[in-house]
């Protein structure tokens, strides 16, 4: 079982070393996939296929800007305002983690007379989120890779045999029939 006692967040800015984000009290990661409707004439139910994937994350904790301005949460503010990508690791324990690269979307700091200074960090992924154990899994050559391809055969013509008017279709690399949906 994973608990708040074993969790942590590490972020690396640029090519820097990953560092634990200080005083984080909680985090969440949301992984999503876009579902595309594929209606067919004569069928009552719509077919759906998976499209683009994405993820968002947030973390909350006690604010810490460090003394030198290069440690603590100052580096996150600099990365956000500089539009720099950050490599994120969200740990369930020391060995099990989610990883991905993202952009910091917002940082909120609040302070009240009766409480410590708090920070909330929100980020959006720019690549696929890797799940625990994904670092050790390698893709085999016979495993198809799904890829979206813009249709160059038509101008979104509904009679196009490749894209059926969508302007794109999906192919699968390393697949014998080329995987045209």
- Is the pTM above the cut of 0.75? no
Domain ranges of the chain: 8-136, 139-181
Distance (Å, rounded) from C-alpha 180 to C-alpha 175?
10
Tell me: the pLDDT tens digits for 56-99?
999 988 887 765 444 567 778 888 999 988 888 888 888 888 99
8-136 is classed CATH 1.20.950: no
Kindly report the CA angle at 102 between 99 and 106, in degrees rounded to 5? 125
Tell me: the pLDDT tens digits for 21-61?
777 888 999 999 999 998 888 888 888 888 899 999 999 88
Alpha helices in the chain (DSSP H): 74-82
The structure tokens listed for 1 are 């079982």
* Rounded (to 5) percent helix, strand, coil in the chain: 5, 45, 50
Residue at token pair 């683009």:
52
């Amino acid at each position: 079982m994973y608990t708040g006692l074993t969790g942590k967040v590490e972020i690396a800015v640029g090519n820097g070393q990953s560092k634990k984000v200080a005083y984080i009290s909680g985090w969440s990661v949301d992984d999503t996939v876009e579902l595309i409707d594929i209606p067919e004439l004569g069928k009552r139910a719509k077919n759906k296929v998976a499209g683009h994937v994405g993820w968002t994350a947030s973390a909350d904790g006690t604010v810490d800007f460090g003394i030198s301005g290069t440690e603590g949460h100052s580096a996150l503010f600099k990365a956000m305002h500089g539009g720099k990508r950050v490599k994120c690791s969200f740990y369930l324990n020391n060995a099990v983690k989610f990883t991905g690269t993202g952009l910091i979307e917002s940082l909120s700091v609040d302070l009240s007379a009766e409480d410590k200074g708090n920070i909330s960090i929100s980020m959006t992924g720019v690549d696929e989120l890797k799940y625990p154990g994904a670092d050790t899994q390698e893709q085999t050559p016979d495993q198809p890779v799904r890829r979206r391809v813009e249709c160059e055969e038509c101008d979104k013509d509904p009679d196009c045999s490749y894209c059926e008017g969508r302007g794109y279709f999906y192919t699968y690399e390393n697949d014998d029939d080329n995987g045209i949906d």
